[in-house]
Amino acid sequence: MKKPLLGSFEAPKSRAHMLGSLQKIHLPMKRFSQSDEVDYVIVGCGSAGGVLLQRLARAGFNVVALEAGPFWDTERDWVSDESGSHQLYWEDPRVTGGSDPLALGANNCGRGVGGGSVHWAAFTPRFHPSDFEVYTRDGVGADWPIDYDIIRPYYEQLELEMPVAGPAYYPWGHPHGYPYGPHPMGGVGNALIKGCTALNIPVSIGGPVAILSGSHGDRPHCIYRGFCIQGCKVGAKASTLITHVPDALASGAEIRDNCMVSRIELGKNRRVSGVHYFDRDGNPHFQKAKAVIVAGYSIETPRLLLNSACPGFENGLANSSDTVGRYMMAQAGNVVLGRFDQPVRMYKAPPAHALTEEFYETNPKNDFARGFAIQTVGPLPIAFGKEMVAAKRAWGWGLRREMMDYNHWATFGLLGEILPWPDNRVTLADETDRFGLRVAHVSFNLHNNDKKLIKAAKEKTTEVMYAAGATEVVQEARFAHLVGAARMGSDPRTSVVDKFGRTHDISNLFVCDGSILPTQGSANPGLTIQALAARTADYLISQQDAIFTSDKREMTEPILRSELAPPGTYGRGVPHLK
Ligand SMILES: Cc1cc2nc3c(=O)[nH]c(=O)nc-3n(C[C@H](O)[C@H](O)[C@H](O)COP(=O)(O)OP(=O)(O)OC[C@H]3O[C@@H](n4cnc5c(N)ncnc54)[C@H](O)[C@@H]3O)c2cc1C
Ligand code: SF4
């Protein structure tokens, strides 16, 4: 019999684990004993943690990831249903505050293997060269200790590993093209094209987005049904759960799921010796390790460092600068909704499929520094209903009427750069969680530059919506994408980690996730977070045992180890039509 295109279907064996309809991995994995002193313990197996785990295991290190959430079997655990997908998010208690409090929970990080890459929309624009020198150029924010040229090869590498679909020529920042061809347009994308074209604004169509526009190995292509932020049961959307974790396990890594790390232990000579954690039944354990890498997201990472205060680090581990928790950032993520006479049917596409970065850079004509992007967003009905409650104060019968009109609405999201401020910070609240650990208190305040930028971004996005032909336009104020709170820098007095993610205070303790970003641009951060993780991995690999035995800091840039990419990264793809 002729084989179907993607190989003959085989039901999972008893201990196999399904990731999407076709991809499967075989458990059990290698198991280390807690009395083994492993090389690296990674706290959190999310966007950054998943990439790091795969690279370190492939390079031959003994590495364990402790993940607070479950190891998803996507066929068993995920549903293409909005209300059935809340389990994907970190919904444990947190306290929010400040003059502009952030909505926490489903608006930020994931919980489970894959972390936030499970529920992300998978927009994957790169940061611009200007993002790495905001202070030098504009006198605000901060400079990074690295420049664009250092991260550029890692962008190119991760765009192949996910892989990313997008146009053959992307004009903003450092112009480049994408390995997979762009996606077809949905109704919202068409509206963005129409509005931008009418106003002479260039727009990128069909990506960049880490969703397959053609089959890739044992992953099928997108079927355009819009459940991307519910996980994508199909397996077309990239998450580290399906792109990097299978190879990590095949290379000898262990993932201990449902294990919540409670404290990092400081051993002798100002070096860490392992982590304390609670297993799924709430039993306490200790895993010995030669080095620890925290990859828990920009709320849980500072929370863990602060909860690990001990003699010598009374204000929190690695916090001699009093910078842990500070300079946390969220992007302005206002949603602008427009009603059209003709049906739009915004559910019939991935939410992420078109954008413009024409307003990304500082414009001297503006009364604020930095800029914003405008992107497609395609909320499903429940999210749309919530937006109507917020934007129009619709309720009862009024809300029902709006919901019946769902097919006529399009939504654009603005993504505005909010600068890093020291008073936007994560501290410890007095409240505790079910493990008795103090929960995070997240304080957020908009400053003048941020307010002016958001006002201008809202006006421009509204103008585009009207230019697309909308007859009614409303908007909901919201924020997206938390980063920062353990930032990298060259000066130990004003940053937590050096340019490789190594804490200035403790030479075998690293941070590797969105927390280390000094500024955030107005690009979605996920690609940058994973690219930085691959670079940190290359650094650790280049150091071999030196991290475990010496406090000396080698600051030479590592070489890119593309041969450590997951198998199948190269040689496939959908050719661009020229
Ligand atoms: C709805 C939504 C849509 C998004 N869309 C996009 C998009 O289109 N493009 C984009 O670039 N970004 C997007 N993002 C943002 C993106 O998901 C995050 O920026 C990214 O996943 C953060 O990566 P991370 O490695 O810092 O943390 P995460 O990926 O969140 O990983 C952290 C992991 O650590 C675990 N953990 C935390 N604390 C502990 C502990 N103490 N012990 C054990 N485990 C722990 C968590 O369970 C989690 O799995 C979106 C976010 C949301 C909420
Ligand atoms: S639209 Fe595509 S990427 Fe999104 S859930 Fe459906 S198949 Fe997955």
CB 317 within 8 Å of CB 266: yes
Query: What pLDDT does residue 353 have?
Result: 93
Q: pLDDT tens for residues 181-208?
A: 999 999 999 999 999 999 999 999 998 9
pLDDT band at 566 (very low <50, low <70, confident <90, very high): very high
Measure 570 CA to ligand 2 centroid, in angstroms.
Answer: 23
Using alpha carbons, select from 232, 180, 229, 204 the residue that is nearest to residue 74.
232
- E strand map for 142-211: 204-205
- Which class for 127: exposed (0-12), middle (13-18), buried (19 or more C-beta within 10 A)? buried
* Sign of the alpha-carbon dihedral angle for 134, 139, 145, 148: positive
Q: What are phi and psi of 64, to 5 degrees?
A: -125, 135
Q: How far apart are the C-alpha atoms of 167 and 451, rounded to whole Å?
A: 33
Quickly tell me which residue has 């920009």 as its tokens: 298
Q: Which of 261, 445, 460, 265 lies closest to 358 in space, CA to CA? A: 460
Query: Mean pLDDT in the chain?
Result: 93
Q: Is the CB of 222 under 6 A from ligand 2?
A: yes
Q: How far is CA 431 from CA 212, 517, 555, in A?
A: 43, 28, 40
Which residue's CA lies nearest to atom 2 of ligand 2?
Answer: 222
Buried/exposed code over 421-441 (b: 16+ C-beta within 10 A; e: otherwise) = beebbbbbbeeeeeeebbbbb
Give CA 314 to chain center in angstroms: 31
Q: Is the pLDDT of residue 532 over 80?
A: yes
Residue 11: pLDDT band (50, 70, 90) is very low
> Which ligand gives the minimal distance to the CA of 158?
1
In this predicted structure, what is the pLDDT of residue 9? 41
**Range of lowest pLDDT (41-45, 211-215, 304-308, 424-428):** 211-215
Ligand lying closest to the C-alpha of residue 122? 1
Cα–chain center distance at 158: 13
Helix (H, G, I), strand (E, B) or coil at 314: coil
Q: Which residue has the tokens 């690293």?
A: 510
Q: Does residue 572 sit in helix, strand or coil?
A: coil
Residue 3 in this model has a pLDDT that exceeds 70: no
Q: Is the dihedral of CA 171, 177, 181, 186 positive or negative?
A: negative
> What's the longest Cα–Cα distance across the chain?
69
- Closest residue by Cα to atom 4, ligand 2, is 228
Confidence of residue 425 (pLDDT cuts 50, 70, 90): very high
Q: In this predicted model, what pLDDT tens digit does every residue of 485-506 receive, in sequence order?
A: 999 999 999 999 999 999 999 9
Q: Mean per-residue pLDDT for 541-558?
A: 95
- State residue 578's pLDDT score: 40
Q: Is residue 46 classed as helix, strand or coil in its secondary structure?
A: coil
Query: Can you give the pLDDT at residue 78?
Result: 87
Determine the distance from the C-alpha atom of residue 438 to the mean position of all C-alpha atoms in its chain, rounded to a whole number. Answer: 24
Give yes or no for residue 251 having a pLDDT over 50.
yes
**Considering the entire predicted model, what is its pTM?**
0.95
Residue 147: φ, ψ to 5°: -110, 180
Other CB atoms within a 10 A radius of the CB of residue 222 amount to 23
Pocket probe for ligand 2: among 222, 229, 345, the residue whose CB has the most ligand atoms within 8 Å is 222
DSSP secondary structure, 337-397, as one string: EEE-SS---TTSS-S--EEE-TT-S--TTSSSSS-EEEEEE---HHHHHHHHHHHH---HH
211: phi then psi, degrees, rounded to nearest 5: -130, 135
What's the CA gap between 337 and 391, in Å, rounded? 9
| Residue from 117, 120, 162, 380 to probe ligand 1 pocket by mutation (most atoms less than 8 Å from CB) | 120
What is the residue type of 53?
L
pLDDT at 393 over 50: yes
Tell which atom from ligand 2 comes closest to the C-alpha of 221: 7
Which amino acid would we find at residue 176?
Answer: H
- Of 84 and 379, the structure prediction assigns the larger pLDDT to 379
User: Which candidate, 185, 520, 523, places its Cα nearest to that of 378?
Assistant: 185
Ligand in nearest proximity to the CA of 89: 1
Q: How does DSSP assign 105-149, residue by residue? A: STTS-B-STTGGGTT---B-PPPPGGGGBHHHHHSSS-B-SS-HH
**Looking at 15-19, 80-84, 198-202, 456-460, which range is the least confident one?**
15-19
What's at 526, amino acid-wise?
A: G
Taking only the tens place, the pLDDT of each residue in 400-415 is 999 999 999 999 999 9
Rounded to whole angstroms, how far apart are CA atoms 31 and 269?
29
Of the candidates 114, 438, 509, 465, the one whose C-alpha atom is nearest the C-alpha of residue 290 is 509
